[in-house]
Structure 1
Amino acid sequence: MRYAIVTETYPPEVNGVALTVQGLETGLRQRGHAVSVVRPRQPTDAMQVDDTLLVRGASLPRYPGLKFGLPATRRLISEWKESPPDAIYVATEGPLGWSASRAARRLGIPVATGFHTRFDEYMRDYGMRFLQHTALRWMRRFHNGADATLVPTRELAEFLRSQGFDHVVRLARAVDASHFSPLRRDDDLRAQWGVGADGLVAIYVGRIAAEKNLELAVKAFRALKQQHPDARFVWVGDGPSRAKLAQDNPDFVFCGVQRGDALARHFASGDLFLFPSHSETFGNVTLEAMASGVPTVAFNYGAVREHLLDGVHGAAVQDDAGFVDATLRLAADPARRRAMGQAASDAMRALRPEQVATDFDALLTELAQTRGSHHASIATA
């Protein structure tokens, strides 16, 4: 089969959407399919990239390291007329994503979209709560133009259906437990953070931005530090809030963006993963922390509701007070943290990225065959 994947973010950009898309692409290739990627050109790109159509992009406001793709309907129609894919996956709802869906509809190519980002929740986090419903209507219009909308959790599928989204399909996610593993724990790295083997490290991994509700993580750590004065809070990632956060908290350790083996070492070298976000559609970092053997404190939705057992793998909390209380409880009990970390790591080994690729392949194949059968029936009518 021939598939096309359209995305406005892609590695080396580091975010959940970019890495998820790359994982899906890799999985399809490993299953023997031809996959082309349509995405904005990045500064590190050569003039031509194999199996990739590079389009014009522009920087996202407040995120100079990320781009969105500019509309490319005519170019995509020309490209796909010459070499039509059997099905297309559109991962992002930006201008490039809209134009890709439009081009596919004109050519009669089936389209699956991915619901990766709660832009309606972002409106609230950036002080524009009055635009929440507008954002949701905009996303509903985009996704309802597709043959299927892929979501990572049952909870999100139920919510979208209740809001009038059509053809919602759950595509589970997984984590590479051979890469994210407790065996990656690195005492030398911890020493660089100023912590001994028995010290306490709270860690956050992700975008450092307003929508991540980071003030709550800071509040929880400050309460923790009153009981554990030598504890460290390590931050992995970057974003528009980093400079102010570092200025206000000179004792925090900022490691910047980490990738590959370095990211796995940073995860596994923490003792408690604090993830205070309210606005994730999933939260891949939750699975990565669990696979790394690090108990997690996070809100009970997304990946947490799908995979984290409260009191077994960490704490799935309901409100801000519960987040702080859970942080203090786990910080005070090293033996319980170790047991939770081991249980979380064991649970993640049951998840297999290969199965995600198989399910994704089956869904795209079904869309292609259904559309093909429909066209055949029209031709013979």
Structure 2
Amino acid sequence: MKVAIFTDTYAPQINGVAKTLKKWTDFLETKQISYRLFAPNPLETCDYNENIHRFKSLPFWLYPECRLALPRLSHIRTELEQFKPDIIHVATPFNMGWTGHHYARKLNIPLVASYHTHFHKYLDFYKMSCLTPLIWKYMRWFHKPFKRIFVPSMETRDELLKKGLTNVRLWSRGVDSDHFHPWPHSTYLRDTFGVTEPFILTYVGRLAPEKGLDILMKTAAALPSEWQPYIHWMIVGEGPLYQTLQQEAPSNMTFTGYKGGIDLSRIYSESALLVFPSATETFGNVVLEALASGTPAVVADSGGVKEIVQHGKTGWACTPDDPSSFVSAVTHLLQNPLLLKAMSEKARAYALTRSWDAVFYGLLQEYQTILEEVPMLSHA
């Protein structure tokens, strides 16, 4: 099987889509499955190789992690004609995604999509809700020729079906439980940031309005005064709200910027809870990473995250956009250490069932089913 992937975000960019696609291409290489990936070039230092083709790009104003590429169409067509992919996978609906969409139809190559981000929900946070009908009109047109639309959660599947999209299938997410795991004796936060409080509450993700960070800040301020001396907040990530939040932050809140690798794994592990108030997620990779680290998650009972967290077992599902619900959950869990310990063990056990290999083998099987449905085409 030969796979061509078109995306408007890819490593070294830092977001859930880029990380998922990097995991996917790593898997393809490990299994010696041929692929070509076409993506923007966010940095001048990005490597070029036979498998990955990058193009000059500009940041997308609404979501800078996605880039508006300036694809060289003749180069892409030549590469596709030489590579002869069996299937084209489009991961985003912008310039690179549209290019894959165009050439799949032009060259009679079966076409699939993966849907990762509720962009229409972001519009509410940027006072642009009036554009929502246009977004869905475009999405229905864009996705019409796809043999499958892969989504990370049943919530996302249901929403797309309600909006008139078809051929929607679940393609969930996994976690590397060898990398994200409990570190019983880690002192990373004490050694690096001087954190000495016994209870670490952590947020990991983009610092942007759609992530519900206003709810997080209100939660931090509203926790009972008798708990405040024993709690420290770690805010891990970067984004447009970084400076504003830092200026408003209480003294027991530390901003780390982006963290990855072992540093991120240790931050999760040393945390008592992940607090993740976003109500706009199609999945929530960071929640699964926290669970793998043995850290229960306090989340909004909305979107894809509510399918990861088992309320009262691996975390706590709160009323979306309600700081009092988050305050109640955090205080309840911190004052019940035996419950917190049991949830930590169950969180780790659950994450061990969510391997990336199983997720990717499932996607390959979907590809194979599509190819069996489609007669041999002229490009082959």
Do they superpose with TM above 0.5?
yes
1:216 counterpart residue number: 215
1:184 Cα deviation (Å)?
6.7
Quick check: 1:125–1:211 contact (8 Å CA) kept in 2?
yes
Quick check: 1:193–1:232 contact (8 Å CA) kept in 2?
no
Summarize the Cα distance change of 1:313–1:178 in structure 2 as closer, same or farther, 3 Å threshold.
same
1:47 Cα deviation (Å)?
6.5
RMSD of aligned residue pairs (Cα, Å): 2.1
2:205 counterpart residue number: 206
* Distance of 1:63 and 1:157 partners within structure 2: 22
Which structure 2 residues correspond to residues 1-381 of structure 1 after superposition, within 5 A?
1-45=1-45, 48-61=48-61, 67-183=67-183, 186-196=186-196, 199-224=198-223, 226-230=225-229, 231-249=231-249, 251=251, 252-319=253-320, 320=322, 321-373=324-376, 375=377
* Distance of 1:40 and 1:200 partners within structure 2: 41
Quick check: 1:86–1:110 contact (8 Å CA) kept in 2?
yes
What's the TM-score, normalizing by structure 2? 0.92
* Distance of 2:47 and 2:340 partners within structure 1: 49
* Distance of 2:35 and 2:234 partners within structure 1: 38
1:12 Cα deviation (Å)?
1.6
1:150 Cα deviation (Å)?
0.3
What is the letter of the counterpart of residue 226 of structure 2?
Q
Quick check: 1:9–1:68 contact (8 Å CA) kept in 2?
no
Q: Percent identical across equivalent pairs?
A: 31
* Distance of 1:350 and 1:268 partners within structure 2: 19
* Distance of 1:4 and 1:173 partners within structure 2: 20
1:211 Cα deviation (Å)?
0.9
Deviations 1:247-288 (A, max 9, x none): 111522011111111211121121111111111111111101
Moved more, 162-171 or 238-247: 162-171
1:233 Cα deviation (Å)?
0.8
* Distance of 2:119 and 2:350 partners within structure 1: 31
* Distance of 2:188 and 2:264 partners within structure 1: 15
1:72 Cα deviation (Å)?
4.4
Moved more, 286-295 or 360-369: 360-369
Quick check: 1:111–1:146 contact (8 Å CA) kept in 2?
yes
Paired residue secondary structure (1:32): coil
Paired residue secondary structure (1:341): helix
Quick check: 1:8–1:97 contact (8 Å CA) kept in 2?
yes
What is the letter of the counterpart of residue 223 of structure 1?
A
Deviations 1:63-111 (A, max 9, x none): 6665232354443222212221111111111111112111111101111
* Distance of 2:219 and 2:57 partners within structure 1: 39
* Distance of 1:227 and 1:144 partners within structure 2: 56
What's the TM-score, normalizing by structure 1? 0.92
User: Structure 1 regions of 5+ residues with no counterpart?
Assistant: none
* Distance of 1:134 and 1:186 partners within structure 2: 50
* Distance of 2:368 and 2:96 partners within structure 1: 24
Quick check: 2:280–2:303 contact (8 Å CA) kept in 1?
no
What is the letter of the counterpart of residue 312 of structure 2?
G
User: Structure 2 regions of 5+ residues with no counterpart?
Assistant: none
